[in-house]
Chains A and B, each alone.
Chain A
Amino acid sequence: MAEAAIELVGISKSFGAVRANRDINLEVQKGTIHGIIGENGAGKSTLMSILYGFYQADQGEIRVNGKPTVIRSPNDAIANGIGMVHQHFMLVDNFTVLENVILGAESNALLNSSISKARAELKRLEQEYSLFVEPDAVIEELPVGLQQRVEILKALYRGAEILILDEPTGVLTPPEADHLFRILKQLKEQGKTIVLITHKLREIMAITDNVSVMRQGTMVATRETAKTTVEELAELMVGRRVLLRVEKGEPAIGAVKLSVRNLTVKDSRGVTMVEDVSFDIRAGEIVGIAGVAGNGQSELLEAISGVRKAVSGTVTLDGKPIDLTGAADPGELRDRGLAHVPEDRHHVGLVLAFEENENSILGYHDKPQYLNGPFLNIEAIRRDAREKIEKYDIRPSDCRLKTANFSGGNQQKIVLAREIERDPGVLIVGQPTRGVDVGAIEFIHRRLIDMRDQGKAVLVVSVELDEIRSLSDRILVMFAGRVVGERGPDATEGELGLLMAGVEQQEAAE
């Protein structure tokens, strides 16, 4: 029996009335990869934040290597050999790798000695763990996978023996994720202990030794990975059986609803993000756009929905042209039956400071049914919001609650309810289930399939390949601003992964 690197005993943490963690017990064995899985809001991040010193537990004890330890700040955590790789990297973009690694660990006021010492140390770490990164490269010029490697190096440089990774693969391509897993395995062989937080069951099965499942703030089970199944874990997470594949019938494809020809879009810095993209979406089908984040999908969505001006290209909606390079604005497109669920619901799709009912009219606030002359018809707005809350099972069912207080899944339902209930002919959805819990994912996918079965044209952009594959009737893959391939829903993950990584089709076939 290996000894425990970390033991959490009876950890509880409340934020006001919400009990984020309830009497959590966890034992992570030294030299293993331990997965923590759970829906969004299950309390995984809170638990890890307690371990890393961002929060203090209300109750309970942390033992590191068997010793009771008080961790009041990340500095305490680092001193106890605990390092963390955050979901959103904590790197200074315009610093070099080396500067980032020593940031916060400078040994004296003059940087020179720290830097040369760090350079030597970095070299040693690179050799020991084969984690090579050019020390003088500037962070913003590195691909995401390498940036993550810098985060890992940062933790190792500070002497971390226990490494916590929070949703590490969210931003990676499948090949990059595989590479990360190889690194983690190597770290394990060197005796490091790794805690992996994720909501992707596949990753858990692929690399962990043990897995703990959290649900609604409690630890519901710990299993040896080899002795469990994806189905069992999913059931433990949600508390009931879940359908991992969406059930859908054959599509009844109709006329072309939205036609995009030679669309080119630049981002705010003037960099071309979408280049010469053409495709059609027909009534009754779901078209999925796959790709690693940052390959132009976001800009494509913004352009088609009128949020961002396109540079050139022609687009027709129901056979009539829309001027995306000039006058088209999202309001006009909405009136013509094009609804848009944006990728970033926190800053674009919703105003988090608004009450729920105020968000349920965003974009449709100028429709006569919500107005009395220049005044808002508060009663009609709230009635309407309550109907949607009921129909979409949005919880808590309080239309006066601040939107920020809803969970990710419920926020997404607020947006979907607003856009779908207007009965649009074309629905454009960005990241339909990002940050959404498993129960709500099922619901949201069901709604999108319903739209398709009602003869609507649906365009889905997602970085979750599984989602694209299970929803789409056709899959377009974007890489570096271009559509590099079209596949059917039966395309294998490997095939799509290569396309997403920009490997040409011919090479893929070889």
Chain B
Amino acid sequence: MSVETRQYGDLSTQLVLESRRSTATDTLLKYNDSLVRSIIREQRDLERAAAPLLLQAAAAAEDDEDNAQPPPPALMILQTAILRNKRCLLAYHHHRTARLRDMYWTVGGALPHLLSDADTRSRLSPHEADYLRQYHDSVMEYRADLGTSELDIMAGIEKPVNDLNVLVKVKKECGVIETELGTIDFRKGQRFMVRRADIEHLIVQGYLEELG
């Protein structure tokens, strides 16, 4: 379809389609900056097109107060397009923030881990990285408010604990970790039987793999 025959709202349909695709494939797609910009440009054009009609309608209403005319149909169409585009833009960003929050909790709130991952980082807009930082601050505030060192709300809630100890295999070097059994230097390929609570976050972040 050429640019000339494009309808109002086609672009935002594309944008919302991306959100749907993201849900269907359960991945965070790359932030579509150029499409967002095009829609914002379309919004400005629509606004410019609507402005004279608005003035006209206002003038008509003033001239003829008793015999009020309905607003011209062209204005209705422009305004509907404006509202729809805006809603689609917001929906796209909202959907992405929800995905970001999911990702945040999946790695157990390890924000540096999330942001230092080049692949993830390339898909985020700078504003989204900011959003995650603020989100992290907010969760940390809540955790501090809770005021208990016993209960870590960041730990997994996927499945309840069956065993205190867990057999793990080291997937990535993660250096020396303090555990209940003393300090352990985790080196790639080694296996350890360790207290789950001590290393749960390392499993979540992919340093260790749970065996059996």
Partners in one complex: no
Give B contacts to A, CB under 8 Å.
none
Give A contacts to B, CB under 8 Å.
none
